[in-house]
Chains A and B, each alone.
Chain A
Amino acid sequence: MKSLGNIRREFAPWNQPDAKPYIQFKNVTKRFGDFTAVNNLSLSIYEREFFALLGASGCGKSTLLRMLAGFEEPTSGQILLDGQDLRGIPPYRRPVNMMFQSYALFPHMTVEQNIGFGLKQDGMAKADIDTRVAEMLKLVKLSQFAKRKPHQLSGGQRQRVALARAVAKRPKVLLLDEPLGALDKKLREETQFELMDLQQTLGLTFVVVTHDQEEAMTMADRIAILDKGEVMQVATPAEVYEAPGSRFVADFVGNINMFEGKVAERDGAGATIASANGVTIRTANAGDAPAGTEVTFAIRPEKIKVSSKKPEGGDNVLEGEVYDIAYLGDMTIFHVQLGNGQVVKASSLNATRGTEDPLSWDDKAWISFRNDAGVVLTR
């Protein structure tokens, strides 16, 4: 199998059996009355990792973060930070700091006082506080706003003050609750890279909660995908996207086409899959699903090629009709209806201006994909 690619090539402690996790959730359960927010969850996060908790609202990701910060105690289970059990330690004694979704800047204090607040609590000498605050202001490029009050700042500036305040104490772990949620799209994209740079510069462990998969994919070393208080998969962004562990993860992250069916025949690592609605798919990797197993064949739209003429040879070629076209500029998404009625999404990158194979609504079209383009899911 080809490499799925790891951007920080030298950083993968989760693959080293002797690496010690920095943060460990051990069988953690949290109930609020009848509602189980987190259900028997175990998770390891490594030092200097940029870790993302991704999930829809109500999946328990914020509860996990709040338990790390100390605002909630687990109903059962254990949370370890650097080998220390965190149970019973109040938030003001934990070596973690949090950046709040609402930023929670103190409205009656200046930017300077906000950033210096935590340092003052620690009884740091005034001169040292001033030095550190100046350093933080420079880091987030807000030096000229030191004397302003939060309400005199823009949304993006407030976000940076909140960030500076949270890292000023040099915590062991920085927790970020939807850190970019309140920013507009353009600013969000810029800030993603700033956050990554900051994490590299300071060498801290970041745990970020987000519902935005693009944000998680861009920033995180690894992503934990949560659903109903349980971990569905923990993996690098590329693994989550290209090798989802379950139908839920495949469907949750990005766009995907799914063919429900059965393994008709195995041949070595590969298999032939007969879908319930009469499509036959050949795949080079079917995992360990024996013949006869109910499986889902899942394939991303960008791995499917659409053409007006039947391609020569090829592993999988299916005939259909163009049902809908969405032109997005950088790419075009075709919805192709197969003979059996199933609509398949296929996207093609507009790498050149104009196209040699123009397709329009109701045109006859062929879709094709390689035998290693999709994944076979058994869960």
Chain B
Amino acid sequence: MTRALSAITNRLVILVPYLWLLFFFLIPFVIVFKISLSTTAIAMPPYTPVLGLADGFSGLMSQIGEFSFDNYLWLTQDALYFNAYVSSVVIAAISTFLALLVGYPIAYGMARAPATIRPTLLMLVILPFWTSFLIRVYAWIGILKPEGLLNQMLLGTGIIDQPLVILNTHTAIFIGIVYSYLPFMILPLYSALEKMDYSLIEAAQDLGCPPISAFWKITFPLSLPGVIAGCLLVFIPAVGEFVIPDLLGGSQTLMIGKTLWNEFFANRDWPVSSAVAVILLLLLVVPIMFFQQAQARAQEEGR
């Protein structure tokens, strides 16, 4: 009796994450996908067909018959979308690489710091989250603009005699993304580096390996799971990033997040913006799934 009850509770506990995914991922996705198959209309909501049982079951069937993939075709016909996807992926990839370059030494330093100060360092990494993301990105405008803090400092110390143009360039976007997503890079790297046995480095040195070479032969390969996790955590949100390119990148930057925003709010074209979102999701999910499968296979073969 109690056994059967506990079996049911066990099932329920397992069910919770699935329910979460169902309500907050799968159902919204199905709605977005459905809208992407519709046509724009001047109405409330601004597309047809709106599914309903007002005309009975046959009415519903004829509404479903109106679905078409025209919006997806449209995305292939205008080069704007293709360019926006490519540009997003390139900007995200460069930013991810820069975040790795900045984040790895920080994570390494934290992992090698005395155990007593590690919690403090960890706290400092997470501390920026206590301020609104939007405010922190706005703050960068004040730093990067031609008469901003950075230029004033460089002009004041005489390093440059003309203000640098950083705001409204790709550089500003890189700075913004690296700054905003750095904790997502540092935390998985730190957890990978922190649990590494330092005697492995000593063993490598003992066998004749100088410190820098020991880093590339031992430390880096062993931290790869952290590197991959950190890169995915930065790359995925960076591809769809809207706020940073909008505030720091100026009007000429082409990123898919901005394109989507324009379609949705400026053009009120819900079906096309839904199609853009669906493609973006596939663009990210498919390679990640392949990658995870490859990783799982490698793990089974014995890491």
Q: Which residues of A contact B (CB under 8 A)?
A: 69-71, 90-93, 96-98, 100, 102, 104-108, 117-118, 121-122, 148-149, 151-152, 165, 169
Contact = CB atoms under 8 A, between A and B. Distances in A.
A93 B200 CA distance: 17
B70 interface: no
The 6 closest A-B pairs by CB, nearest first: A118-B207, A121-B208, A104-B203, A104-B199, A91-B205, A92-B205
Interface string B274-303: 000000000000000000000000000011
B222 interface: yes
Given A69-B202, A90-B205, 15 more contacts: A70-B206, A90-B210, A92-B208, A97-B207, A100-B202, A102-B197, A102-B199, A104-B197, A106-B203, A108-B222, A117-B209, A121-B208, A122-B208, A165-B207, A169-B208
A106 to B, nearest CB: 6
B200 to A, nearest CB: 5
B43 to A, nearest CB: 60
Contacts of A93: 208
Given A104-B197, A152-B302, A69 B206 contact: yes
Interface in B184-237: 197, 199-200, 202-210, 213, 218, 221-222
A108 B202 CA distance: 16
A91 B202 contact: yes
Contacts of B208: 92-93, 118, 121-122, 169
Contacts of B302: 148-149, 151-152
B221 A92 contact: no
Contacts of A98: 202-203, 206
Interface of B: 197, 199-200, 202-210, 213, 218, 221-222, 302-303
A104 B303 contact: no
Contacts of A121: 207-209, 213
Contacts of A107: 222, 303
Contact of A71 (B202, B210, B221, B222): B202
Contacts of B222: 107-108
A106 B205 contact: no
Contacts of A108: 221-222, 303
A69 B208 CA distance: 11
Given A108-B222, A151-B302, A152-B302, A91 B206 contact: yes
A206 to B, nearest CB: 15
30 contacts: A69-B202, A71-B202, A71-B205, A90-B205, A91-B202, A91-B206, A92-B205, A92-B207, A92-B208, A97-B206, A97-B207, A98-B202, A98-B203, A104-B197, A104-B199, A104-B202, A104-B203, A105-B203, A106-B200, A106-B203, A107-B222, A117-B209, A118-B208, A121-B213, A148-B302, A149-B302, A151-B302, A151-B303, A152-B302, A169-B207
Contacts of B218: 106
A121 B211 CA distance: 12
Contacts of B205: 70-71, 90-92
A71 B201 CA distance: 11
B200 A92 contact: no
Given A108-B222, A149-B302, A151-B303, A100 B203 contact: yes
A149 to B, nearest CB: 5
B140 to A, nearest CB: 39
Nearest to B222: A108
Contacts of A106: 200, 203-204, 218
Nearest to A66: B202
